[in-house]
Amino acid sequence: MTSATTHRATIREHAIPTVGAGPYILCEGPDGAIWFCQSTASRIGRLDPATGAFTEFPLPHPDASPIGIIAGRDGCLWFTQKKANRIGRLTTAGELTEFEAPTPASGPDAIAVGPDGAIWFSETDADKIGRIDASGHITEFSKGLTPGSRPLALVERDGALWFSQAGASRIGRIDPKGVISSFPIPSANSQPRAIALHPAGGLWFVETNSNALGRVDAQGAIHEFPVGIDNASLRGVTAGADGDLWFTANFANQIGHMTPQGQVMGVYDCPTPASGPRCIMTHSSGRLFYGAFDAGLIGEISFV
């Protein structure tokens, strides 16, 4: 993809068949499709980026509230079920296996593949990080997390998992043995949420309450970059194919574009009013997709 800094972004929307789907986290599956959680419809969805066709897979629990989803190394989609307190494993053919989290009402939220190949996930309501192996055995880690820290998004870097702590205004790190360390964000009550790995090695995250993006280096040093949008309620961030950052402003109903140096290059209105953009991801083709939670849409960003 040509650098977006010299091209204007345009947005098209794909309507999910199920009304009130509540699309949350998106990921690219092993089949190249966009797989996503339908948080308010208790389904897992699939969007074929070539044809725009949707497939939906209902979950057994009527109010499972799937949130995070990732492609595992086993060729399956792994996802969290926040209200059902389960981890799900779904083949691309739709075969489902579920695993109960050991701590009741732990609120499984984000999910990622760890450096050890296992699946790691945040238990936001229990202030824990969980690990599930290929057999379904779950181990939980909490030492080093303070009550109310609310761990959220997870991403792997340099042999460890880094995660946001929405309730503690910190970025955390957990190694494969479960040792946790934390790094304070300069702005108090910044409420960090989504976190993404940049090709240059830095981790970028949204500060929902501070209207800024943050970057954390390998040593844990954090720098903040205001996005210039009032009451934005930032939710999602991704590094584009050109290395620039793209982020969602939930309350402002906009998609933003920032360079790695912190310069805002553009802000684009979502076509549907009050659509509630949340997660945003970069497809291997270079195309950008985001979930419009409140409108039940998948948005696609292209460049002209």
C-beta of residue 208 within 8 angstroms of C-beta of residue 224 = no
Which neighbouring-strand residues pair with 196? 204
What are the sequence ranges of the domains in the chain? 4-303
Tokens of 215: 């970057």
| pLDDT digits 0-9 by tens, 215-262 | 999 889 999 999 999 889 999 999 999 999 999 999 999 999 999 999
- Average pLDDT estimate for 104-109: 98
CA distances from 270 to 26, 119, 245, 286, 291 (A): 18, 33, 17, 20, 11
Tokens of 95: 């075969």
CB hemisphere CA count around 132 (13 angstroms):
23
pLDDT at residue 5 tops 80: no
Q: Can you tell me which residue has the tokens 């800094």?
A: 5
User: Residue 7 — pLDDT band, cuts 50, 70, 90?
Assistant: low
pLDDT at residue 195 tops 80: yes
| pLDDT digits 0-9 by tens, 132-187 | 999 999 999 999 999 999 999 999 999 999 999 999 999 999 999 999 999 999 99
Strand pairing class (54-58; 43-47) = antiparallel
pLDDT at residue 89 tops 60: yes
Q: Can you tell me which residue has the tokens 């844990």?
A: 220
| pTM for the model | 0.95
User: Residue 302 — pLDDT band, cuts 50, 70, 90?
Assistant: confident
- Average pLDDT estimate for 30-49: 98
pLDDT at residue 3 tops 90: no
- Average pLDDT estimate for 69-95: 98
- Average pLDDT estimate for 28-41: 98
pLDDT at residue 208 tops 70: yes
pLDDT at 123: 98
Long-range pairs for 84-93 at CB < 8 Å and ≥24 separation? Answer: 84/59, 86/61, 87/111, 87/119, 87/121, 87/130, 87/132, 87/138, 88/44, 88/59, 90/44, 90/57, 92/29, 92/30, 92/31, 92/33
Tokens of 292: 């419009």
User: What CATH superfamily is the domain 4-303?
Assistant: YVTN repeat-like/Quinoprotein amine dehydrogenase (2.130.10.10)
Which neighbouring-strand residues pair with 13? 299
pLDDT at 4: 39
Tell me the percentage of the chain whose pLDDT exceeds 90: 94
